[in-house]
Every structure is written in structure tokens, then in C-alpha cells.
């Protein structure tokens, strides 16, 4: 966990050097990524019926 915090601190230090345009682009890309992760989480529930012993054989493919 400490290593993750060090990475976050390094990223924050780098962001301090960004121009306003670079910050806007970064925020746009982060929003797109968060939206994608949200859709993936929603889609995950659609496949929950396949999470059973009978279909477990397909997990190895």
C-alpha cells in the first residue's frame, strides 16, 4: 500500500507541472476511464447467471 501512495505522490508532483490544457485532457481521459469501469461493473451482473458449477468448465478457456 505504501508503494501505491508513493506512486500517487509522484503523479501529483508531475501534475503540478501540467499546463491548463494538459490538466483538462487528463481529467477528460480519467472521466472516460471511470465511465468505462462503471459500464464494465454493470455488465458484470449480466453474466452472473453463468457463475455456476455447470459452466465452470468454460472458465478455463
Q: What is the 3-state secondary structure (H, E, C) of the chain?
A: CHHHHHHHHHHHHHHCCCCHHHHHHHHHHHHHHHHHHHHHHHHHHHCHHHCCCCCHHHHHC
Residue 6's pLDDT is 92
User: Per the domain annotation, does 32 fall within a domain?
Assistant: yes
User: Per the domain annotation, does 28 fall within a domain?
Assistant: yes
Least confident of 12-16, 39-43, 51-55: 51-55
Residue 52's pLDDT is 82
User: Per the domain annotation, does 37 fall within a domain?
Assistant: yes
- Residue 38: partners with Cβ closer than 8 Å, 6 or more residues away: none
Residue 35's pLDDT is 96
Query: Which grid cell sits at 16?
Result: 503540478
- Per-residue pLDDT at 11 exceeds 80: yes
User: Per the domain annotation, does 54 fall within a domain?
Assistant: no
pTM of the model: 0.62
> What is the span of the domain harbouring residue 26?
19-47
38: confidence class by pLDDT, cuts 50, 70, 90: very high
Amino acid at each position: 500500500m505504501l508503494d501505491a501512495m508513493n506512486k500517487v505522490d509522484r503523479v501529483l508532483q508531475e501534475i503540478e507541472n501540467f499546463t491548463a490544457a494538459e490538466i483538462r485532457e487528463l481529467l477528460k481521459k480519467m472521466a472516460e476511464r471511470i465511465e468505462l469501469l462503471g459500464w464494465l461493473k454493470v455488465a458484470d451482473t449480466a453474466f452472473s447467471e453463468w457463475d455456476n458449477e455447470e459452466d465452470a468448465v468454460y472458465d478455463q478457456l
